[in-house]
Amino acid sequence: MLQYFSETAPLLLVGCGHMGRAMAQGWLRAGVPADHLYVVDPQADPVSLPGSRADHFVASAGMLPRGMKARAIVMAVKPQVMNDALPLMAPFIGDDTLVLSVAAGVTLEQMARGTGGEGTCVRVMPNTPAAIGEGISGVTAAPGISEVDRALALELMDATGEAVWIEHEDQMDAVTAVSGSGPAYVFYMVECLAAAGVRQGLPEATAMALARQTIIGAGHLLDAETDLEAAELRRRVTSPGGTTAAALDVLMRDDGLGQLMERAVAAARKRGQELAG
Ligand SMILES: NC(=O)C1=CN([C@@H]2O[C@H](COP(=O)(O)OP(=O)(O)OC[C@H]3O[C@@H](n4cnc5c(N)ncnc54)[C@H](O)[C@@H]3O)[C@@H](O)[C@H]2O)C=CC1
Ligand SMILES: O=C(O)[C@@H]1CCC=N1
């Protein structure tokens, strides 16, 4: 698995912040040898990536070994710096190089401009549960991508959880709005549930413990009950005329959580479209 790289045709990560580090952890776990991984980031500290080689961490592209052509370059910098960061990678892009970007909103066309049309561009939207191998990524490229490059892109992201191929690039902003940003919605749900518990008289620490483990437990149950839809698991909590039904009457009304989520996801998708540049 992931045996695409070598010392002379390595995997190059550009930007090792929250998302870049999460993915790199997955690649090292999936067996990419530390010798085959280079990281470019002015801030990154190799200590934050156990199992990596400190001498493969460089502050800028100019410090990478000369003449090296990467097999894959993963751009995990902010969308706003992509136009500056991509052209700096030009010396490391050869005919076989796959250039992946995980930046929200950054299009394949924008990437091709940044690389000067060299290499093959792939647009990816991962999420931070990648850090523990529980991520999900949407992956897309222009229709002409080779089978081997498509497999490499999917395997890279599979190493951080699951990966799904998205046929139409114009759906990537919706992918971003659902699964890229989605973990934040769930963490906010924990915050809101705990705050609501405090309003109903619980001590803060107790409310947080209850809310936190409820989301963790519900997630694990969803994972364990592979044959059951989320809606069925919800029904199994909901006794007719009981407490859950009373709460769901509030959450499921016309202006309830469904509508709120629709507005939130639409706002995230719109912001993704605005970030294209
Ligand atoms: N954080 C998340 O949950 C997700 C983030 N993304 C995308 O990942 C990208 C990175 O986001 P985060 O990791 O959250 O940001 P971050 O701020 O944690 O990391 C960005 C990293 O890029 C480095 N950097 C800045 N300029 C650079 C340059 N010229 N060359 C190399 N490295 C440079 C910074 O030092 C920093 O470590 C963004 O484009 C974002 O849209 C995608 C999916 C989820
Ligand atoms: O908030 C953002 O723009 C990035 C993309 C998806 C998650 N974080």
Question: Angle 204-224/182-199 helices, nearest 10 degrees?
Answer: 140
CA atoms within 13 A on the CB side of 153: 30
Return the SS3 of 72: strand
Q: How far is the CA of 98 from the centre of ligand 1 (A)?
A: 19
Among 111, 104, 94, 113, smallest CA distance to 138 is for 104
Q: Which atom of ligand 2 is nearest to the CA of 272?
A: 3
Q: Would you say the C-alpha torsion 242, 243, 246, 248 has a positive or negative sign? A: negative
The pLDDT value given to residue 157: 97
Ligand number nearest CA of 17 is 1
Task: Tell me: do 97 and 211 sit in the same domain.
Answer: no
Return the SS3 of 20: helix
Q: What is the mean pLDDT of each run of 10 residues along the chain (277 residues)?
A: 89 97 93 96 92 95 95 97 96 96 97 95 97 95 96 96 97 98 98 98 98 98 96 98 98 98 98 91
Q: Is residue 2 part of a domain?
A: no
Q: Is residue 269 part of a domain?
A: yes
Q: Whose CA is nearest to atom 3 of ligand 2?
A: 104
The pLDDT value given to residue 1: 63
DSSP 8-state secondary structure symbol assigned to residue 42 = S
Task: Tell me: do 186 and 131 sit in the same domain.
Answer: no
In terms of residue numbers, what domain contains 16?
11-172
Number of domains observed in the structure of the chain:
2
Q: How far is the CA of 31 from the centre of ligand 1 (A)?
A: 23
For the sheet containing 57-58, what is the strand order?
57-58, 37-40, 11-14, 70-75, 93-101, 120-125, 135-141, 161-165
Distance, in Å, from the CA atom of 262 to the CA atom of 235, rounded to the nearest integer, reads 22
Give the residues surrounding ligand 1 with Cβ less than 6 Å away: 14-20, 40-44, 76-79, 81, 85, 102-104, 125-128, 180
- Residue 104 in contact with residue 79, Cβ under 8 Å? yes
Query: Amino acid identity of 102?
Result: V
The pLDDT value given to residue 23: 95
Q: Which atom of ligand 2 is nearest to the CA of 184?
A: 7
Task: Tell me: do 54 and 72 sit in the same domain.
Answer: yes
Among 118, 165, 160, smallest CA distance to 141 is for 165
Task: Tell me: do 132 and 28 sit in the same domain.
Answer: yes
Cα dihedral 240, 241, 244, 245, rounded to 10, equals: 90
Q: How far is the CA of 205 from the centre of ligand 2 (A)?
A: 29
Q: Which atom of ligand 1 is nearest to the CA of 176?
A: 43
Query: Considering 114, 145, 172, which residue would you say is the last residue of a domain?
Result: 172
Distance, in Å, from the CA atom of 124 to the CA atom of 104, rounded to the nearest integer, reads 9
Q: Which atom of ligand 2 is nearest to the CA of 176?
A: 6
Task: Tell me: do 101 and 207 sit in the same domain.
Answer: no
CATH of the domain at 27: 3.40.50.720
The pLDDT value given to residue 210: 98
Q: Which atom of ligand 2 is nearest to the CA of 103?
A: 5
Distance, in Å, from the CA atom of 250 to the CA atom of 244, rounded to the nearest integer, reads 10
Q: Is 181 in the pocket of ligand 2 (CB under 6 A)?
A: yes
Q: Is 130 in the pocket of ligand 2 (CB under 6 A)?
A: no
Q: Give the containing element (helix H, strand E) for 168.
A: none
The pLDDT value given to residue 2: 82
